[in-house]
Amino acid sequence: MAMAAIGGRLRRRPPKYSAAALAWKGLRGESWPRVWRDCDLKSSYDAVVIGGGVHGLATAYYLARNHGMTNVAVLDKAYLGSGGSGRNTAIVRSNYLTPEGVAFYDRSVHLYEQMAVELNINVMFSQRGHLTLAHSDASLRTMHWRAEVNKLGGVNSSVIGPDEIKQECPSLDTSDHPRYPIQGALYHPPGGVVRHDAVVWGYARAADHMGVEMHQKTEVTDILCEGGDGPDGKGAGGRVTGVRTNRGDISTPIVINCTAGWASLISTMAGVRLPITTHPLQAAVTEPVKMFLPTVVVSGSLHVYVSQTDRGELVFGASVDPYANYSVRGSLEFTEGLAGHVLELMPGVSRMRILRQWSGLCDMTPDYSPVMGFTPVDGFLVDVGWGTYGFKAAPVSGEQMAEAAATGRTPKLIEAFALSRFDNGELVGEKGAASVGH
Amino acid sequence: MLLVPCPNCGPRNSTDLRYGGESHARPDPNTASPAEWRAYLYLRDNPAGWLRENWYCASGCRRWFSIERNTATNEFRDPPLPGDKRGGAA
């Protein structure tokens, strides 16, 4: 449907994914066409997006779809979705703590709900419900606070007691035996999980069909500026003229930094310092078992979140590593701590084995909210500071960043997340709801 | 797990210490502009490489110290001597 609506701007008609096409191709033994093209790097683009993850690809997609800007390049130093987009635990929800956060993430959930139809790809969005457990009076009070803010923002969210938790999720130990007994939970029925790779491929495919170019293995080594107060014309008051890559220079008036863990390194190239430190976040997955965990379960006090994939594996995440780091190595103390906390919640999984663990880089901000929009360098936009909550915000971030880049004005939905909030002392404190155990 | 060379306790597991972030000298409160305070409070270099940072030896000598670590390889260098207060670590 959405494809038809933008039919006038289509470069070529996308081969539709459908059951009929699958059967037809299967019977005839045909192979599927390449999903996106490999292009030669041009010397000039209307906009360059650095970072080929869900945020960068969504930004490029919405630039083309909503604003008709198709002369756009997405650059990634590795392959598309190689960073946080393929390493997150795929949870989507909107039960945040601040009104700004709730409105923003609610729009994101709404866009995820339409995504499969809009992008013609099965993103396997399973809105199975999301439980945030409270183990103390203090956290139960925060859950009530969040529930009320959510309800005001029109988000389905409520506080439930141990009996209802047991009904929703029988494998949880809701007795008073654990060290930190479960006292209640924030129940958020629209929350769920999405197949994150499909989101990457869906945006890349749709953007490619509208003429956006994806350049993999293209590393940005410098951002070219003029007129700024720093060396080489970088810094405040200057403007962007292009980027330098390992495949040559590109001239462009707009550069959008969507690089998550590497956000500071890219921004430094334009002379912009960010309030960001990079921490790895580790995750792990178990062997597959039969379905027993119907909802996503999060415990801030126990530093763990867990969901069961459609294949039956349990996917665990935890809090970020305690020190700044650019290496994505796993650690044994993470696995040990995680296993202990999971067993406290669900003693029944004690015999399950962890298959593998991995780690991704998170760009943490002081207030656990992102940094989005314009910077003191004209034409250099940032969509960074996504910490441990970037995947769930990808569609709305792309939509809003595209609007900012195309119109030159900050959209209302992301006004609160501007870099200038650190000048004005208007931080958006989401620490209580952004993730676990920070 | 990092092995952090504490000047007083020797090599300790990083779980024994608390991370104190980048080490920057505190601006002079009598002369600092709001922009300098903001930079000190919020803005970070966040390099992928050598970084001078603060650690608090919480389970050992209970003292702060500053040391250089490579954030890409996790090597330490330039370990301080006892009583060394470089880089604003108090």
Give backbone dihedrals phi and psi of A335, rounded to 5 degrees, phi first.
Answer: -60, -40
Question: What tens digit of pLDDT does each residue of A363-386 get?
Answer: 999 999 999 999 999 999 999 999
Predicted confidence (pLDDT) at residue A9 exceeds the cutoff of 60: no
Radius of gyration for the alpha carbons in chain A, expressed in angstroms and rounded: 22
CB contact under 8 A, A324 and B43: no
CB atoms within 10 A of CB A16: 9
B59 touches chain A (CB under 8 A): no
CB contact under 8 A, B43 and A274: yes
Question: What tens digit of pLDDT does each residue of A92-127 get?
Answer: 999 999 999 999 999 999 999 999 999 999 999 999
Indicate which of B17, B36, B37, B46 best probes the interface with A, i.e. most A CBs within 10 Å of its own CB: B46
Question: What tens digit of pLDDT does each residue of A260-271 get?
Answer: 999 999 999 999
In angstroms, the first-to-last Cα distance of chain A is: 42
Residues A306 and A297: their CA atoms lie apart, in Å, by 5
Question: What tens digit of pLDDT does each residue of A177-190 get?
Answer: 999 999 999 999 99
CB contact under 8 A, B43 and A366: no
**Tokens at residue A158, please?**
């409520």
Q: Residue A403: which of A54, A61, A76 has the closest Cα?
A: A61
Maximum Cα–Cα distance across chain A: 66
CB atoms within 10 A of CB A412: 10
CB contact under 8 A, A274 and B48: no
Give residue A13's pLDDT.
59
Indicate which of B12, B24, B43, B44 best probes the interface with A, i.e. most A CBs within 10 Å of its own CB: B44
CB contact under 8 A, B43 and A275: yes
Note whether A385 and A365 are within 8 A (CB).
yes
Q: Residue A236: which of A422, A426, A373, A377 has the closest Cα?
A: A377
Query: Domains, chain B, ranges and CATH?
Result: 3-88 (3.30.2270.10)
Q: Residue A313: which of A331, A291, A334 has the closest Cα?
A: A291
CB contact under 8 A, B44 and A276: yes
Question: What tens digit of pLDDT does each residue of A169-228 get?
Answer: 999 999 999 999 999 999 999 999 999 999 999 999 999 999 999 999 999 999 999 999
Question: What tens digit of pLDDT does each residue of B56-80 get?
Answer: 999 999 999 999 999 999 999 988 8
Burial of A310 (0-12, 13-18, 19+ CB in 10 A): exposed
Identify the helix (H) or strand (E) that includes residue B11. strand B10-13
A239-257 b/e (C-beta count within 10 Å ≥ 16 → b):
ebbbbebeeeebebbbbbb
Query: Domains, chain A, ranges and CATH?
Result: 41-121+196-275+367-434 (3.50.50.60), 130-191+277-362 (3.30.9.10)
**Residues in a beta bridge with B54:** B66
Residue A195's SS3 state is coil
Give residue B87's pLDDT.
47
H-assigned helices in A34-190: 54-67, 99-119, 137-152, 162-168
Residue A170's SS3 state is coil
pLDDT band at A300 (very low <50, low <70, confident <90, very high): confident
What mean pLDDT is predicted for residues A391-414? 96
Helices H, strands E: what count in chain A? 12, 19
Radius of gyration for the alpha carbons in chain B, expressed in angstroms and rounded: 14
Reported in sequence order, the residue ranges of A137-235 that DSSP labels E, i.e. its strands, are: 158-160, 184-188, 192-193, 213-215, 220-226
Give residue A7's pLDDT.
42
Contacts of A238 (CB under 8 A, 6+ apart): A225, A226, A227, A228, A229, A230, A271, A377, A378
**What chain B residue is nearest to A264 in terms of C-alpha separation?**
B46
Note whether A357 and A232 are within 8 A (CB).
no
Nearest to B44 among A277, A322, A331 (CB): A277
Give residue B90's pLDDT.
41
Question: What tens digit of pLDDT does each residue of B12-65 get?
Answer: 999 999 999 999 889 999 999 988 999 999 999 999 999 999 999 999 999 999
Give residue A437's pLDDT.
52
Chain centroid to CA A48: 20
CB contact under 8 A, B42 and A422: yes
What mean pLDDT is predicted for residues A231-255? 96
Predicted confidence (pLDDT) at residue A11 exceeds the cutoff of 60: no
Note whether A279 and A364 are within 8 A (CB).
yes
CB contact under 8 A, B22 and A276: no
Residues B62 and A218: their CA atoms lie apart, in Å, by 47
Contacts of A15 (CB under 8 A, 6+ apart): A21, A32, A33
Give residue A258's pLDDT.
97
Residue with tokens 């499909």: A198
CB contacts of B46 in chain A (<8 Å) are 264-265, 274, 276-278, 324
ipTM score of complex:
0.91
